[in-house]
Structure 1
C-alpha cells in the first residue's frame, strides 16, 4: 500500500508544479488615480479585455495551455510612483509590461525594466527620449513626439495658415516634448512664435499666462499637455475673449475634452492629433468592431489609447507563441521582428523600438464630440 502511495504523491507534486508554471504574468501600468485616471482606466480595461479574450480562446505556448494573468498597477502619472510600481512588477516576476501611459513615468520606469531584462511595450509614450535610450526591450505602438508635434506644426502653417502662434506646455516630459517638436515644425514665411508660456499638469488657473498671450493677438494657441488642463484652459480662453484656434497632441484629443471644455470647445476650433489611425474600409470595420466590443464589455466608450493597449498585449502574446516561450530572453528576438495586424493597423518595430511608418489621425470637435478629419503618415 505504501509503495502505491509514494508514486501517487510524486505524480500529484509534479502535476501541481506543472499547473503553477502555466500562469504567465503580464504587467500593466497606467494612472488609475489623479487627473488622468479616465485615460488610465481606459488602458487597464483594454488590457483586461485582451487578456480575457486570449484566455477564453485557450491560449497556448509551445503546445501547452497557459493562463495569462494581468498584474495591474497605478502610477498616478507620478514619476516616483511610476518607478516604485515598476520595481513592484519586477519583484512579482512579470514576463512583460504594457505601459506606461505618460512619458514622464514611462521613461524612468523603462530603465528598471531594462535592468531586469523585461520587455515593455508602451501604448501611449510619445517622448523621443523613451527609445533614444536604446534599451533592447523598449517598444511603442504609437508615433513619437517628433512626428506628432512636427506634423502638427507643419499642418498649422501649411493648412491652417497660422501666422501668429502662441505655445503653452505643462512642464511634463510629454508636454514639453510635443511643444518643442511643434515649434520645430511650425516654419514658414511670416510665421512667428509670439509667445511661449508654461503651466503645470495640476494647475487650474491660467489667467496670467492667457492674459499675456491675449496681448500678442495669436491666431493659434498650441498646448502641450493633457485634456484635464486643456478643457479648463479653453473655458478661460473664451472668458478672456481669445479668439484663436486651439491645437494639441493626443493628450487633448479625447472625447473627455468636449465635456471638460463645454461650449468653449467650439465648432472646428480645436485641432488635435492622435498617434495612430486606420484607413480603408476593412480596417475601419475592425476598429469599429473593437469599439463596440469594448463598450459591451466595459459599459463605457473608448477614451483614447484602449485600441493601442489591446494591440500591445496581443503583440506580446504573439511573440511568446512564436518563440514557444514566455521567458523574456527567448521571446524578445521575436518581438523585435514581429509583423502583426492589429485593430490599429499593421504593427512592426524599427531598430529603436519605434513603430514603423506610424500613422496620425487628425480630429476636430463638432457639437461637443470628437470628429475625425484625416489619417496621415
Structure 2
C-alpha cells in the first residue's frame, strides 16, 4: 500500500518535471557551430588554437542567454579534423552539411578552404576562414568570409619592410607548393620587384619536407640578403636551423604562419632577430580588450593564444551579433547583415565588403627575441 501511495505521489511530479523540460526545450534553439582545421599532424598546434578561440566564444555566448525570434540560443561546437588536406576538408564540409551545421569557422589552410568553399556555399553554410589565398573570395560566394588580410596584403607588407626598413637588395624565394605557400610567395615576389629588390633564385619544397640543405646551398651561392619562405612553421623552423648550420647570414622572412611560438619552440637558438614575419591584425596585448582576452584564454586553456585564436573568437562573436541584428539564424540573412554592420573585436574592428573581405586590415611585422614574438611595426 505504501508503494502505491509513493508511486501516486511521484508520478504527477515526474509529469510536471517532464513538462517543464519540454517547455524549456521549446523555447531554446540550438545553433551548431562547426570548426574545420588541422587537429592532427604538424600544424595541429594551430588547429587546436583556432578551436580554443571558438570554444571560448561559445562558452561566453551560452552564458549570455542570447535570444533570436523569441527563443534562447544555445551554441554547440562541433570540431572536425581536416588534416590540412583538401580531400579531407571537403569530406568535413559534407559531414557538417549532413549534421545540420549552418556556420563554420575555418578551414585554416588555403588549400583546404578553396575546394571546401564551394561545398559550404552550395549547402547554404557560412564559411569564415583565415585562408589567405586571394582566390578564396574571388568566386562570388555570398556565404564565404575571410577574417584576416589576404596574401596580397601580407606579402606586400613583408616586401615593403624588407626594402624600406631592412634595405635588402637581393632575395631568394622558397615555397612549399601549397595554395597558401605559392600564393604568398608570388605576392611577395611581385611586390619585392616593384620595390627594387632582385629575386636571385626561386626554389621549391613541400609541406612535409625537413631537409633543405640543397636548396639553401644554391641560394647561399647567390649571396642573397634574405630568403622569403612561403610555407608553415614546421618547415620554417628546421630551415632556420639549417641556414645557421650552413653559416648563412641571410634573414628568413615569411608570412603569418611563421609568426607563432611554435617557430621558436622548434627552431631554438636559430630563431631570433634573423627571422621576420608579417601577421594580419593588430598587436593583441596593445588592444583595449586584448589583455582581458589573453587572461580568459589562459585561465580556460592553461596556455597563451597563438596566431589566430583571437580572430576565430572575434568572428564567432560577430556572427552571433549579426544574428541578433537581423533577428535570424538563416546564414544568408546573417551574412547580409555582416556586410552592413561592423563589430569591435578584441584584435580589431571587423566589417566586410561585398566579396567577404575585410574593408580594412592591419598587418603587423614581428621578429623573435628570447623565444617570444616582438612587434616591429604595422
TM-score bucket of the superposed structures, by smaller chain = over 0.9
> For residues 94 and 217 of structure 1, what CA distance do their matches in structure 2 show?
52
SS in 1 for 2:374: strand
Separation in 2, partners of 1:87, 1:13: 36
1:243-277 CA-to-partner distances (Å, cap 9, x unmatched) read 101110001111111111111113x2111111111
> How do 1:274-285 and structure 2 match up within 5 A?
274-278=279-283, 284-285=287-288
Conserved? CA contact 1:295–1:301, under 8 Å: yes
- The residue correspondences of 1:189-200 to structure 2 (distance < 5 A) are 191-200=197-206
Aligned residue in 1 for 2:324: 321
Q: Deviations over 1:45-64 (max 9, x none)?
A: 11111000000121221332
1:263 equivalent to 2:251? Answer no
For residues 325 and 171 of structure 1, what CA distance do their matches in structure 2 show?
Answer: 41
What is the match of residue 372 of structure 1? Answer: 375
Report the aligned-residue RMSD: 2.1
1:57 aligns with 2:73: no
> In the alignment, what sits opposite 2:309?
306
Does the aligned pair in 1 maintain the 2:288–2:346 contact within 8 Å?
no
Which of 80, 88, 92 is 1:85 aligned to? Answer: 92
Q: Is 1:202 aligned to residue 208 of structure 2?
A: yes
Alignment of 1:1-377 (within 5 A): 12=19, 15=22, 18-19=25-26, 22-122=29-129, 124-187=130-193, 191-266=197-272, 268-278=273-283, 284-375=287-378
The normalised TM-score by structure 2 is: 0.92
Q: Is the 8 A contact 1:163 1:192 kept in 2?
A: yes
Q: Give the whole-Å Cα distance in 2 for the aligned partners of 1:212 and 1:89.
A: 46
C-alpha contact 2:81 2:92 (8 A) present in aligned 1: yes
**Structure 2 vs 1, CA of residues 182 and 190 (structure 1 numbering), >3 Å: closer, same or farther?**
closer
* SS of aligned partner of 2:288: helix
SS across alignment from 2:50:
helix
Structure index of larger Rg: 2
* Distance in 2 of aligned mates of 1:155 and 1:71: 40
Distance across 2 between alignment mates of 1:256 and 1:330: 39
Q: How far apart, in 2, do the equivalents of 1:309 and 1:105 lie?
A: 17
**Structure 2 CA distance for partners of 1:308 and 1:173, relative to 1, 3 Å:** same
Residues 206, 236 of structure 1: 8 Å contact kept = yes
DSSP 3-state at the match of 2:258: coil
3-state SS in 2 of match to 1:160: coil
| Deviation at residue 135 of structure 1 after TM alignment | 0.5
Structure 1 residue 19 displacement after superposition: 3.5
Structure 1 gap ranges (5+): none
Structure 2 CA distance for aligned equivalents of residues 260 and 211 of structure 1: 21
8 Å contact kept, 1:148–1:360: yes
Contact 1:157 1:187 in 2 (8 A): no
Check the 8 A contact 2:134/2:150 in 1, yes or no. Answer: yes
Deviation at 1:141, TM superposition (A): 1.5
Q: What TM-score do you get using the length of structure 1 for normalisation?
A: 0.92
Q: Work out the CA distance in 2 between the residues paired with 1:14 and 1:258.
A: 51
**Contact in 1 for aligned 2:32/2:101 (Cα 8 Å):** yes
CA distance in 2, matches of 1:23, 1:237: 52
- 2:156 touches 2:191 (CA, 8 Å); kept in 1? yes
Structure 2: state its 5+ residue gaps.
1-11
> Deviation at 1:138?
0.5
C-alpha displacement of 1:131 = 0.3
Contact 2:159 2:195 in 1 (8 A): no
> Equivalent residue of 2:229, what SS?
strand
Deviation of the 1:178 alpha carbon: 0.4
